[in-house]
A and B are shown apart, each in its own frame.
Chain A
Amino acid sequence: MSGTPLLEARGIVRRFGHVQALGGADFSVYPGEICALIGDNGAGKSTLVRILSGADRPDAGEILLEGKPVDLASPGTAQQMGIATVYQDLALAPDLSPADNLYLGRELLRPGFLGSLGFVDRRRMRRNATEQFSRLGVKLRSPRVAVATLSGGQRQSVAITRAAMWADKLIFMDEPTAALGVIQTERVLNLIKQVRDQGIAVVLISHNMPQVLEVADRVEVLRLGQRVAQLPTLGSSVEQLVAAMTSGTLAKEPAS
C-alpha cells in the first residue's frame, strides 16, 4: 500500500433523483493487488464500480489512473486504458464457443486476401484461446462447444480469462462466485489469484467475509456512500470487517 495507486477515486458523488448513492466516496487500488470492496447492501459498491469501469458517470469527483486524471466516458474507454469488468450476470454470449467469446468484438482475421474480405481466423483464435486458458489453469472440455453448455464455474472462468486477456492493468469483479458451488468457487478464487500473479490488479466485490480474508490482499470498506476504512487482510478478522461495514468504525481489538 505504498506509492501511487493504480486507480484512485476522490470525492465521487452520484445521485439518482433524491437518493444519494455515493456521497463523496474515495477509493484506491494499487498495482498487482487483489483489493476487496465491501459494504452492506446499499453502501454504493456497485455504483462505484460502474463509475470506475466507465458504465456510469459521476455527478462530481475525480478519477486518477496512475496519478493522472482520466475521463472514463464508456466501458470502451476504460477497456482501452486496460480496465475490464466481469459482470455479475456473466457477460458472455451463450451460443458462441469460449474461443469466440474471448475474441468477441476483437476477432482475428485471416492473413492475406481472405482477411481483407473479412474472414475470421477461427483456427488461430481457437489455438490462442486454448493457450490463454491453460496459462491461467482453466480446464474446459473444448473451446468449440457453446458456452451455454458449460457449468457456471467454467462460464465464470471464461469471463475472467476474457477480461484478463484484454485488460493489462485492472479487472473489476462483481460477486464472481455468488452463484457457484464450493468446488467451483475454489477454482474461480484460484483463477483470480492467477490473474493477480500475472500482474493485473483485481477489485473484488464480495459479501463473503471469509472469502475476502482468504483471497484479498487489502480491503476497502464503503458505508452509506463513503469510504470508512482501508485495512490489510493480514491480521484482520471477520468481526473487524463486519464492524467497519455496519458502524463505520474499526473494532481495534478483535473479539478473542
Chain B
Amino acid sequence: MSSNNLDVARPADPSPLPSGSASVGSASVGNPFQTFRHSPIFFPLIGLVAVIVIMIFASGSFFSVANLTNVMRQVSINAIVAVGMTFVILTGGIDLSVGAVMALAGTIAAGMMVHGFEPVLALVVGLGVGFGFGLFNGLLVAYARMPPIIVTLATMGVARGLALMYSGGYPISGLPKWMRFFGNGAVWGVQTPIIITLVVYLVAWVVLERAPFGRYVYAIGGNETATRLSGIKVGRAKLIVYAVSGLTAAIAAIVLTSRLMSGQPNAGIGFELDAIAAVVLGGTAIAGGRGSVIGTLIGALLLGVLNNGLNMMGLDPYVQNVIKGGIILLAIFIGRERRA
C-alpha cells in the first residue's frame, strides 16, 4: 500500500559493527501469561468469556450450534464495518459516515441490478462508491485538515441524502436470486457472511501487523508529528485509512443488501455507533495508537452475544438498551488508560 520514501540514498540495512557484549535486549519481558496480561485484548477477552458464561446460565437455548451460528451471522455486518473503523480510530480519527455510506452503496448496487446492469458490475460499483466516499473523507481530513468528526458528520448527511435521492426513499427490491448468497448462503456449510468477515479480518490483521503501512497507522495515532518527521507521508496514510473505512462499509452493505434482498436507503442508521462501540470494547484507544483488529472482533462478538442473550432472556428491549450502555461504560472504565 504505502511504500517508504526515504531509503533512496540510505543503506536499507546498516550493518552494525560486531559487538563483544551479549545481546542486551533479547531478554524476555516475562512469562507468556504476563505478556498476555498486558496485551490490549486481555480485558475484552475476559469480558466476552464472562458474558458468554452468564448467558449460558441465564438462557438454556443460548449455547446451541444453531443459536451461536445465528449470533455470528448477526455480528458479521457490524464486525466488518468495525474493521475500517479500527484503522481510522488507530490514527486518532473517527468515521461517523459509515452507516450512511452503507445505505448509499447498498441502494446503488441494488438499483443497478434492478435496472439490468451486469450484477458483478453493480457489486463493483457499490464497493467503489464506498471506497470513493472514504477517499473524499480522507481528502478533507488529511489535506484540507478538517476535524474528522465534523467532516464525517457532514458526509454522513450527504451520503444518506444521496441514498434517499437515488432510491426516491423506497427500498429497491427485485434483486437476482443469486444475490442471496452473500447474506444467506453458505460454502461447505459455513455461512457466507462469516467467511467474508473472517477474510476481511485476516487481510486487515496482516496489513496492520505485518506491513509497513500498519506501523504508520499506529505511529500516526501515537505521535503524528514524530511520524511526519520520520519522513512518512502522513497525509497519504490517512487518506488510505478513510478509504479503507469506506470500503469495509460497502462490503458490509453488500452483505446487508443480500440479507434483506433489497437496497434500503434507511439501512445502517446508528451502525457507526455500534462499530465505534465494538472498536472501543475491543481495547482500542479512542485517542489512537493502541489496539488491534482482533480486539475489535472480540468487541463485536461481545456486543452480539449481549444483544442475542438479552433477547433470549426475553428482556424488554428498552431495558436491554440501558443494560448495553451500562456494560459499555463498565468495560471502558475497566480498560481505561493503563499506560505507565
B-binding residues in A (CB < 8 A): 55, 75-76, 79-81, 85, 87, 89-96, 98, 100, 104-109, 118-120, 122, 124, 126, 128-135, 137-146, 148-149, 165-166
Measured between C-beta atoms, what is the minimum distance from A112 to chain B in Å? 14
Q: Is B177 an interface residue (CB 8 A)?
A: no
Q: Which B residues lie within 8 Å of A104 (CB)?
A: 215-216, 219, 227, 230, 232
Do A145 and B226 form a contact, CB below 8 Å, given A105-B5, A105-B6, A106-B12?
no
Q: Are B29 and A144 neighbours in the complex by a CB distance under 8 Å?
A: yes
Contact of A118 among B28, B212, B219 (CB under 8 A): B212
Q: Are A135 and B215 neighbours in the complex by a CB distance under 8 Å?
A: no
Q: Is B14 an interface residue (CB 8 A)?
A: yes
- Provide the bound-state CA to CA distance between A128 and B219, in Å: 20
Q: Are B25 and A93 neighbours in the complex by a CB distance under 8 Å?
A: no
* Nearest neighbor of B35 in chain A, beta-carbon distance: A144
Q: Are B230 and A91 neighbours in the complex by a CB distance under 8 Å?
A: yes
Q: Is B340 an interface residue (CB 8 A)?
A: yes
Q: Which A residues lie within 8 Å of B229 (CB)?
A: 55, 75, 85, 87, 91
* Nearest neighbor of B28 in chain A, beta-carbon distance: A142
Q: Are B14 and A92 neighbours in the complex by a CB distance under 8 Å?
A: no
Q: Are A120 and B231 neighbours in the complex by a CB distance under 8 Å?
A: no
* Nearest neighbor of A53 in chain B, beta-carbon distance: B229
- Provide the bound-state CA to CA distance between A166 and B28, in Å: 27
Measured between C-beta atoms, what is the minimum distance from A133 to chain B in Å? 6
A-binding residues in B (CB < 8 A): 1, 4-10, 12-14, 16-17, 19, 21-29, 206, 210-213, 215-216, 218-219, 221-223, 225-227, 229-232, 289-290, 339-340
Contact of B221 among A89, A95, A135, A141 (CB under 8 A): A95
Q: Are B211 and A118 neighbours in the complex by a CB distance under 8 Å?
A: yes
Q: Which A residues lie within 8 Å of B212 (CB)?
A: 107, 109, 118, 120
- Provide the bound-state CA to CA distance between A161 and B273, in Å: 42
- Provide the bound-state CA to CA distance between A93 and B225, in Å: 9
A-B contact pairs, 6 of them (CB 8 A): A75-B231, A76-B6, A94-B223, A94-B289, A144-B29, A166-B10
Kindly name the residue among B7, B25, B221 whose own CB sees the greatest number of chain A CB atoms within 10 A: B25
* Nearest neighbor of B20 in chain A, beta-carbon distance: A134
Measured between C-beta atoms, what is the minimum distance from B204 to chain A in Å? 14
Q: Are A92 and B19 neighbours in the complex by a CB distance under 8 Å?
A: no
- Provide the bound-state CA to CA distance between A140 and B25, in Å: 6
Measured between C-beta atoms, what is the minimum distance from A107 to chain B in Å? 4
Contact of B25 among A79, A96, A142, A165 (CB under 8 A): A142
